[in-house]
Amino acid sequence: MRIKLVLYSEKIIDLPLHYNQTVQGMLYKSLPKFLSDFLHDVGFFYQKRKFKLFTFSKIFSTKQKIENKRLLINPPITLYISSAINDVAKQWGSNFLKKDIIKLGKNNLFLEEIEIMSKPKIKEETIIKTLSPITVYRTKDNNGKKYTQYYKPNEKEFNELIKLNIKRKYEIITGKKLEDFPFSIFPVSEFKENIEKFKNVFIKGIEGKFKIKTDPEILRTIYDAGIGAKNSLGFGMIEVIG
């Protein structure tokens, strides 16, 4: 389930340049404690890998500027949040409706609009655009020293690792074993590389428009969990545009 939030403030909204951690904190605090603790500390497992199965978009607004290494945004702002687990998204919707004030960092925000987004029509060939960057990587070892290798859309690992990530999410969500399935993703226009900072770690991501070829039911199932890695950090939210 996906929710669109339009949030208003009586003042300019003041955020760090890399605000993903701030948004994530707001989302955790907008859930009942037992559910927030479960997602943060436990999550959903695929073998030894942990998934949160939610993601969120960048913040959208009509006007924003950088001043003194801060992001100053003219309200209102629009934020999309989604989870492959409907009960999680429903809790967000219910709690945002109940709140008089929504805290985003040090900013006091008010709910101007909330909308449950309808599921898009997904075909065997679907054009999508990123609402937050897609990050694809492997952790490698160089003589005992671990490092992160990020991949771009023109590298085969980009396609392979997204496909593997989709398989794992699909099996968690449905409880069904997914055998090999057709999948490809490639840019349909020039893509943009993006670097975000989360808890003092820099994460590389890709923004742009892509064509995805796969079984529509598979993409539909994992759509609200996000694609690629680090979805709960604000990566991999996509929107169907064709």
The answer on pLDDT for 48 being more than 90 is no
The answer on pLDDT for 16 being more than 90 is yes
Please name the residues in contact with 221: beta carbons below 8 A apart, sequence gap of 6 or more. 84, 169, 170, 173, 174
Of 56, 85, 117, the residue at which a domain comes to its end is: 117
Of 67, 85, 117, the residue at which a domain comes to its end is: 117
CATH number at residue 201: 3.30.70.1900
pLDDT band (50, 70, 90) for residue 106:
very high
Query: Both 59 and 113 in a single domain?
Result: yes
Question: pLDDT tens digits, residue range 184-221?
Answer: 999 999 999 999 999 999 999 999 999 999 999 999 99
In whole numbers, what is the pLDDT of the chain averaged over residues? 96
The three-class DSSP label of residue 160 is: helix
Query: Both 138 and 64 in a single domain?
Result: no
Length of the chain: 242
CATH number at residue 90: 3.30.70.1890
Query: Both 78 and 137 in a single domain?
Result: no
According to the model, what pLDDT value does residue 87 have? 96
> Mean pLDDT across the stretch 101-124?
97
> Mean pLDDT across the stretch 135-152?
93
Question: pLDDT tens digits, residue range 125-143?
Answer: 999 999 999 999 999 988 8
d(CA 152, CA 158): 6
Q: 204 φ, ψ to 5°?
A: -90, 140
Kindly report the three-state secondary structure assignment for every residue of 62-121.
CCEEEECCEEEECCCEEEEEEECCHHHHHHHHHHHHHCCCEEECCEEEEEEEEEEECCCC
According to the model, what pLDDT value does residue 143 have? 83
Question: pLDDT tens digits, residue range 157-172?
Answer: 999 999 999 999 999 9
167 is in which domain, residue-wise?
Answer: 125-240
Rounded percentage of the chain residues whose pLDDT exceeds 70: 100
Burial class (CB in 10 A: 0-12, 13-18, 19+), 127: middle
According to the model, what pLDDT value does residue 226 have? 98
According to the model, what pLDDT value does residue 29 have? 96
According to the model, what pLDDT value does residue 221 have? 93
According to the model, what pLDDT value does residue 161 have? 98
Query: Both 95 and 135 in a single domain?
Result: no
CB atoms within 10 A of CB 149: 11
Q: Greatest CA span in the chain, whole angstroms? A: 54
Query: Both 139 and 204 in a single domain?
Result: yes
According to the model, what pLDDT value does residue 144 have? 83
Question: pLDDT tens digits, residue range 60-94?
Answer: 999 999 999 999 999 999 999 999 999 999 999 99
